[in-house]
Each structure stands twice: as structure tokens, then as C-alpha cells.
Amino acid sequence: MSDPAERKGISRRGLIGAAGAAVATGVAGYAAHSVLAGEASQAADANGPVEFHGPHQAGIVTAVQDRLHFAAFDVTTTKRDELVALLKEWTAAAALLTAGRDIGQYGAVNGPGEAPPEDTGEAVGLPPARLTLTIGFGPSLFDKRFGLAGKRPAALVDLPHFIGDDLDPNRSGGDIAVQACSDDPQVAVHAIRNLARIGFGRVAVRYSQLGFGRTSSTSRAQTTPRNLFGFKDGTNNLKLEDADKLEQQVWVQPGDGAEWMAGGSYLVARRIRMNIEIWDRTSLGEQETIIGRGKGTGAPLGKADEFDPIDFAAKNADGEAKIPMDSHIRLAHPQFNNGAELLRRGYNFVDGSDGLGRLDAGLFFLAYQRDPRKQFIPVQTQLARTDTLNEYIHHVGSGIFACPGGVTPGSYWGEKLFA
Amino acid sequence: MSDPAERKGISRRGLIGAAGAAVATGVAGYAAHSVLAGEASQAADANGPVEFHGPHQAGIVTAVQDRLHFAAFDVTTTKRDELVALLKEWTAAAALLTAGRDIGQYGAVNGPGEAPPEDTGEAVGLPPARLTLTIGFGPSLFDKRFGLAGKRPAALVDLPHFIGDDLDPNRSGGDIAVQACSDDPQVAVHAIRNLARIGFGRVAVRYSQLGFGRTSSTSRAQTTPRNLFGFKDGTNNLKLEDADKLEQQVWVQPGDGAEWMAGGSYLVARRIRMNIEIWDRTSLGEQETIIGRGKGTGAPLGKADEFDPIDFAAKNADGEAKIPMDSHIRLAHPQFNNGAELLRRGYNFVDGSDGLGRLDAGLFFLAYQRDPRKQFIPVQTQLARTDTLNEYIHHVGSGIFACPGGVTPGSYWGEKLFA
Ligand code: HEM
Ligand code: HEM
């Protein structure tokens, strides 16, 4: 593994390390072009880079991209120094990858053709496609191995058992998580793969999850997408335009405890299996009652438009609440959760079928927040207890991660934690 | 399930069954728009429909789309009539889905809100996104159950065991396969899910596979994409522009046997696991030697440009063949396979990780051909025996399917088979 400072970062769309090729080649084959001809007409911006550096990590309030590759890693080295070295190399690689650059030459480093290519190559020719890479540290990283026990934030609790939890340990936990989001799955997969490869011998992938069709919008400029139950998802999400709310609800503030987390956020990841075959046999009326919104419009029941405010007091002719007492949007709403909100940026997944003829499909729920003790945990406790939606979903994987503040040029992921 | 003739087919971008909504709603929420705001700038064509009807099924020589959802079904009914009825319903639904229409109202059929929605809804607002649906019939469909034994084409052989095969029966076989390809994964998933739902009680999903980043171009208008080994894939593929070759190599001709297959094609599907972690530790020179092409350019070794003709006779200074004797492109080339060619339209897959810290990644290989006995089987026999690539891949799933000719309006998938 070469020193991260040596990683030159080759533009994927420009000239790619011809020097390292084992045979004489013209440069024509390396010229700039989009691999996906059908997407050539996309606006340059839509394929452009998202700035990696800044006060906060990208990938949290960034307008949510279309695809996800999420990986949880176990740290396999027991040496703190090696872990720090890895985080430095990862940071350097992440800065290149998110800029749409490959992480090195094709084997040019140790002589022509003799070394494995530094970059795995499958993203050559692809644009940055708004790749973001976001890191988080799980509770297990704060055990005795690396001398971090004293730095564990109080907010980074072990999540309690919620009613109905059916968690697979192989899809839960993890010392470190990296969330890769991009509008192109090949770009997201390429990023995680190259990070995993850099980490060889120091970390191992514990589980990874691909997702598509983001299930929550995080910007008012985005049309609300639909989840696999066919409902608009993200209507009442926190949006990147809500600067004040983000400070209150998403970003850890100085004085919140664990100073190294200031400017960061806590991520809760839940793999939620959706029994779509059963849902699909449920009447439209029942579906809308369960969610509390119209399926077509996405409007709160009794209202006409998606963004109409919810009127929880409104009653039908029969005196029943228009937004039923056990509907999802009532139980999850800040008004019934001490004002707690979440920034949701989950993804649909379909991982083939489950051996019983059912699609292994659902929502890979990702929610960022300032303090899970006041946000995810109470909301999910209430949902787990009362939400009618539980007849159609179950939580099968779980993770919680402390995602530090942003990276400035010259610093690295987690620098303040290890300082 | 309503009669297929009743399926009105609601334009997903137009007005959606407001009549069936359980609450009074304005129509504004149903108005035309793209859910994926970031994709709004894509050319209309790129998101447009692919014609479902025609002399051949769409999805074979159609310029390959970006995403795949492939499903193999077991037929669970034992009644021939029910199977025929299902194929009729599927055909009607497929014609709507590929036109970018949902397959029915939101629950309007049996009274407002009382019935499950006919369409599952998660594609509302999405464009057709070049969806194609292609059906094929596996050897097991021709057993005693449906009286089809006499109709089994001789070319629809049971694939032999190839050296190195490590097939999972749960990811192999299937009575019926449906290949859904689209530039939007949510559109492909929606299509398979709604077909599975229509088939409830008559078929069950045996396995399904999502794929992305098509691994072979099938048109000269497409830039060659890269597979997960980082190489351009599809350079020497059959292309839709090669009309004469398609007749010789892809389309079953009258007189080939099994007249119901005229205009059709045989599909071989192989789930090929790629050991990308091992590949990634192989030198660039070795990688290029194994494939027989340069990694950057995609050019045959010794040549400069991707589309330069391969010179199998060329020798290096040391007298060795420039394109090594055991390289993939030599062993797979028609010159060494009695002229046999394949139309490859496979997809990359990453299905999380495998519990050993490795990505469960590879190529879902799909190849269409006129006669597998002369094409896939001899080519794969040779590859399985000699290809150095075998040190880095293994075949873990397998299926073969007879895909009949195209559907004309008023006919249905497999009509000639059941005639
Ligand atoms: C598969 C599981 C889930 C599905 C299908 C689902 C679906 C939805 C839908 C359709 C909405 C309405 C649209 C919107 O405002 O975004 C919504 C809202 C919401 N959901 Fe979920 N959800 C799921 C799980 C969860 C979980 C686990 C949580 C948190 C513990 C959660 C928290 C929320 C919140 C906070 C809102 C906004 C409520 C409001 O303020 O109006 N959801 N969800
Ligand atoms: C994971 C497995 C595989 C990988 C990574 C792979 C990769 C490649 C690459 C990089 C090329 C050169 C570019 C091109 O002409 O498309 C190629 C060509 C080709 N491959 Fe594969 N391939 C795989 C499996 C197979 C299988 C199973 C078959 C058929 C049994 C096959 C048949 C062919 C053929 C016919 C060509 C074109 C050769 C020529 O005429 O030049 N490949 N493959």
C-alpha cells in the first residue's frame, strides 16, 4: 500500500495511467467520455462532484442521491496506529473518489504491469455522479482495543431491544460504517470496494447493503419519491433548506458532550424487511389508514395536497380522527414525540427472494440526528408498540454510529477522536 | 383478479385513479412529473417506452438498459388452463407496464378503497425508462404437468455439468423466467413485483436477481461499459446493428425445429461469482494476459484501440503469442469455436457480503443464441477447461430458457406453444 500522500488521483474522465500499461497503447482509448451513453444527456451538475471537505460531512444533508452502498466494517487490527493510518489513507482516497478521480495508477507504482492496479478500474469513464462518503464509528470501537473507551459519547448508546425486533447479528453492529451514496450504483460500489481493499488486513466487511430509489427526499428541490409500499416518502422529512432545524435536530452542538463530535451527527441504520406480498393484498383504504396519508397524492387524510399541514384534531362524520390514532404519521410526528425529528435518508432494497417465494425487499432506513436518546429511540419505542404498520414490516438489522464533523483539508476522518 | 381485458392501464404520469381514493383528493397530486428530480434533464427518449409488440420479443437486441431485475418462477398450479390464463394476464400487464402505464386503478375496481390497489404504486410518476419484459420457458415446464413434453425443443437441452460448476439449486432452473430491464431499477422491480402478484396462487418466485451497470453493450451507439474486474465488456459482442448475424446467431429460424420457437431465442443465465478481492491483488500485466486485452483501452494486446481487430497470430519478441493461448478472448472467440457467437447482455451484481468479509459480487451472465448446443455449451466447455479466468470466478447459478418469438397485439406470451 503506497503512502496516501503519493496517491496522485487520476481523473477518471481524462488520461489514465497509460505509463503503467503492460503493452504500448495509444491514448485514444482513455479519452474522456461517459460510459453510459444513455445518460450523456444528463445535466453536468447532476453528474458532478459534491465537495468532500467542509464543516459537516457530506452525505447527511446533501440532497439525497439515487443509490446507496452501505458497508459496516469490523476492525481486525488491534493496533491503534494501524487504525489511524488506515483512517488517513481512507480520507485521502475518499477525497479523490468523491471528486470523480480514481485512487491511483493502473499498476504504475511499482513498475510497469508488475503491481496490482492501485484502482480497481470499474469506474473509469464514469462521472463523479454526486458520490458522497460518510463515516461513522460504532459503540464497539470504544471497547478496550484502541484506548477509546473514555471518548465514547453518552449519546452513542447501545440501542435497546424494541418490541418485534428480529435482528440478525450478521447484519447488525460494526466498528465503522461507511455510507456511499451516488446517482450511479457502479460509482458507489467502486468506492466501497476500493476502501475495503485499502483496508485489507486492518478491517473486514461485516455486512454491506445496496439500495436504490432513495426513500426520502432531503431537499425541497426534490420531488418526493415512493417507497416499496407505493407511498410518497419524505414529505415531512427534515430538509437541507431548514438551517435552524438542522442545528437543533441534526448537528451535534458544542456542549452536547464528547467535544470531538461537534458538527457531527448520529446515524441509526435499520434494515427493515417489508412484507410486500401481504401489503399488496390489503385494501387501499386500509393502506391509507395505516400510513395516515393518501396513496396517490401523499396528502394527509382529509387534505388535498401533499404539503398541506396535518390536522390531527380533524374528525370524520362518525367522530373518528381523520388521521387515525395508530397511524404511522401520527405516532412518528414531532407533536407526539416531544418535538423530536429525524433526517431520514433511507433506500429501498430488493435482495432477490427469500426461499419462500417472497421478495427479500424492504427499506434500509437511515436516520441522522443530534441525540438518539431523544430522537430515534423514543420515536421507535412508540412505533414498535402501537404502529399498525408493524403487521407489514419487521426490523432485521440494526446499527448506530457516531459520525464526526466535517473534514478540513489536511485533517482525516476521526482526527479529533484520536487526538 | 380482474379480467385482463378490463385493465385500463393508467398512465403513470397522468391522472391516477382518483375515483378510487378513500378520501376526497384534488387531482394536483397526481399530475405529471418525474419523481427523480435529478433525472428530469434526461432526454425524453432515454426515458421513453420500448415497443412491446413485434416479430421478436423486446429485451434481446434492444440496446441494453442500465438495470436488471430477473425472476425465475416455479409454476405452482397443475392446471394447464390456469397457466394459459396467467400468461394472458401477464401479457396484458406487460404491454401496459412497458408503455409506462400502471396495471390498474388504485382499488377502484371493487368499490372505493375496499379492494387492494390493482397496481402496487411505487412507480407512479416514473417514466417508462425503456422497460422491457422478456419471457422464457425452462426445460422443467415441459414435464408431464401441462402436456407440453412433445413440444420441448431439442435445443432446450439440460445444460451439462461444466468443470468447476458449483451450482446452488435455489438459484438455478425455473419453469418460467422473466427478464425485466430498464434504466431505472424501481421500474424494473415494480414490473417483476406486479407480475409476481398477478401470478399469486399459480406461480411462485424461485429466485430473483438484481443487476446494474450492464456488462455488455449491444449497440454500436453505446460506449462499452466496464465489468467488476474493471475491463471493458461487450467490445466484441453481437450488436443490434448486425442484422445478418442476428439471423444466423440469435434468432431461431423456421426449420430449426420446434416451430413455435421461430423468431425466438434461447437464453442461458449464469450467476457467476467473481472473487474480486483476489483479482484486485493480481498484477495489471497478469490481468491483461488473462483477458487478452488492455485494461485501460480495451484494445486487444498489441493493438492501440478498443475496436482494432484481434491478431491471434501476432507474436512477442520471445515468440509467445501476444494474445495468450489461454486468454479469455482467444478461447471465447468464434474463430476457435466453429464460428459460434453469443449476444451477451449480462449485469454486474453486488448482493451485500458473504459472511467471510468478501463482497458477494459478480456477473449475472445472460446470453441469447439460436442454439445452445452449438453456442453456449461448446464455448463454456472450452472456457471451463482452459480459461485462466477460472481462478477468479465460479459459476454458482444456472438456467436455460426458450424465449418464443414476439407478441402481436391480441396474442399472448407462449400462444404458439399452447396452440
Ligand atoms: C418500512 C418502514 C417504514 C415505512 C414504509 C415508512 C413510511 C412512511 C411514510 C409513507 C411516511 C409519510 C411521508 C413522510 O412524511 O415522509 C412516513 C413518515 C415518517 N416516518 Fe416512516 N416509515 C417507516 C419506518 C419508519 C421508522 C422506523 C421511523 C422512525 C423510527 C419513521 C419515522 C417517520 C417520521 C418521523 C415521519 C414523518 C412524520 C411526520 O412528521 O409527519 N418511519 N413514513
Ligand atoms: C465473470 C465472468 C466473465 C468475465 C469477467 C468476462 C469478461 C470478458 C471481457 C473483458 C471480454 C472482452 C471484451 C468483449 O469483447 O466483450 C470478454 C469477451 C467475451 N466473453 Fe467473456 N467474461 C466472462 C464470462 C464469459 C462466459 C461465461 C462466456 C461464454 C460462455 C463469455 C464469452 C465471451 C465472448 C464470446 C467474448 C468475445 C470474444 C471475442 O470474440 O473477442 N464470457 N469477456
The answer to which of A13-27, A340-354, B96-110, B347-361 has the lowest mean pLDDT is: A13-27
d(CA B307, CA B301): 12
Query: B-chain residues within 8 Å CB-CB of A42?
Result: 39, 41-42
Work out which ligand 2 atom sits closest to the CA atom of B228.
5
d(CA A27, CA A31): 7
Q: How many CB pairs under 8 A join A and B?
A: 325
pLDDT band at A358; cut points 50, 70, 90: confident
d(CA B124, CA A230): 8
Interface confidence, given as ipTM, is: 0.83
Sign of CA dihedral A330, A331, A332, A337: positive
Give φ, ψ of A400 to 5 degrees.
-135, 140
Nearest to B299 among A25, A34, A212 (CB): A25
A293 lines ligand 1 (CB under 6 A): yes
Query: A-chain residues within 8 Å CB-CB of B284?
Result: 20-22, 106-107, 113-117
pTM (two decimals): 0.88
d(CA B118, CA B109): 8
Given ligand 2 and candidates B233, B266, B312, which is best to mutate, with the most ligand atoms within 8 Å of its CB? B233
- What 3-state DSSP class applies to B208? strand
d(CA B256, CA B262): 8
Q: Check B116 against A284: CB less than 8 A apart.
A: yes
d(CA B69, CA B187): 9
Contact B181, B131 (CB under 8 A): yes
**Range list of β-strands (E), A159-250:** 176-182, 203-212
Burial class (CB in 10 A: 0-12, 13-18, 19+), B254: exposed
Q: Check B185 against A21: CB less than 8 A apart.
A: no
Res. A72: pLDDT tops 80: yes
* pLDDT for position A354: 77
The three cell numbers locating residue B3: 379480467
Q: Which residues contact B318 (CB under 8 A, 6 or more apart)?
A: none
d(CA A98, CA A50): 7
Q: Check A350 against B23: CB less than 8 A apart.
A: no
* pLDDT for position B414: 96
List, for residues A131-181, the tens digit of each pLDDT value: 999 999 999 999 999 999 999 999 999 999 999 999 999 999 999 999 999
Angle between helices A80-98 and A185-198 (to 10 degrees): 150
**H or E element: which one contains A274?**
strand A265-274
What CA–CA distances, in Å, run from A217 to A369, B38, B189?
16, 11, 20
Over residues B325-329, mean pLDDT? 96
Over residues A19-33, mean pLDDT? 26
Best mean pLDDT range from B34-38, B117-121, B364-368: B364-368
CB neighbourhood size of A286 (10 A): 17
Q: Quick one: which of B327, B211, B318 has its CA closest to B272?
A: B211
What CA–CA distances, in Å, run from B33 to A308, A343, B11, B51, B124?
19, 24, 12, 22, 9
| Closest residue, chain A, to B225 (C-alpha) | A35
What CA–CA distances, in Å, run from A351 to A20, A62, B60, B308?
38, 26, 24, 39
* pLDDT for position A36: 27
A398 lines ligand 1 (CB under 6 A): no
Domain carrying residue B400: 1-419
The answer to which of B77-86, B98-107, B126-135 has the lowest mean pLDDT is: B98-107
| Ligand 1: residue whose CA is nearest its atom 40 | A333
Q: Quick one: which of B2, B100, B193, B25 has its CA closest to A288?
A: B25
pLDDT band at A6; cut points 50, 70, 90: very low
List, for residues B283-305, the tens digit of each pLDDT value: 999 999 999 999 989 999 999 99
Query: A-chain residues within 8 Å CB-CB of B225?
Result: 35-36
Sign of CA dihedral B338, B342, B347, B350: negative
* Ligand (nearest to CA of B293): 2
Burial class (CB in 10 A: 0-12, 13-18, 19+), A350: buried
Q: DSSP of A128-173, one letter per residue?
A: -TT-EEEEEE-GGGGSTTTT-GGG--TTSPPPPPPTT----GGGS-
CA B124 to chain centre: 24
Q: Check B204 against A357: CB less than 8 A apart.
A: yes
Given ligand 2 and candidates B159, B166, B236, which is best to mutate, with the most ligand atoms within 8 Å of its CB? B236
pLDDT band at B41; cut points 50, 70, 90: very low
| Closest residue, chain A, to B12 (C-alpha) | A296
Res. A361: pLDDT tops 60: yes
Angle between helices B80-98 and B185-198 (to 10 degrees): 150
- The pLDDT > 70 percentage for chain B reads 86
> What is the number of structural domains in chain B?
1
Q: Check A284 against B209: CB less than 8 A apart.
A: no
d(CA A69, CA B348): 14
Res. A345: pLDDT tops 90: yes
d(CA B240, CA B219): 5
Query: B-chain residues within 8 Å CB-CB of A399?
Result: none
d(CA B331, CA A330): 63
Q: DSSP of A350-406, one letter per residue?
A: EEEE-SSSSEEEEEEEEEEES-TTTTHHHHHHHHHHH-GGGGTEEEEEEEEEEE--P
Contact B371, B127 (CB under 8 A): no
- What 3-state DSSP class applies to B343? strand
Over residues B135-143, mean pLDDT? 98
Work out which ligand 1 atom sits closest to the CA atom of A298.
13
| Closest residue, chain A, to B357 (C-alpha) | A205
Res. B19: pLDDT tops 50: no
Q: Quick one: which of A157, A340, A337, A368 has its CA closest to A251?
A: A368
Instruction: Report CA(A383)–ligand 1 centroid distance (Å).
Output: 10
List, for residues B67-96, the tens digit of each pLDDT value: 999 999 999 999 999 999 999 999 999 999
* pLDDT for position B102: 82
Instruction: Report CA(B344)–ligand 2 centroid distance (Å).
Output: 8
Given ligand 1 and candidates A328, A350, A387, which is best to mutate, with the most ligand atoms within 8 Å of its CB? A328
* pLDDT for position B10: 57
| Ligand 2: residue whose CA is nearest its atom 27 | B380
d(CA B23, CA A324): 13
A330 lines ligand 1 (CB under 6 A): no
d(CA A301, CA A310): 8
List, for residues A278-332, the tens digit of each pLDDT value: 998 899 999 999 999 999 899 999 999 999 999 999 999 999 999 999 999 999 9
Q: Quick one: which of A281, A287, A283 has its CA closest to A226?
A: A287
d(CA B316, CA B323): 9
Over residues B237-255, mean pLDDT? 95
d(CA A152, CA A158): 11
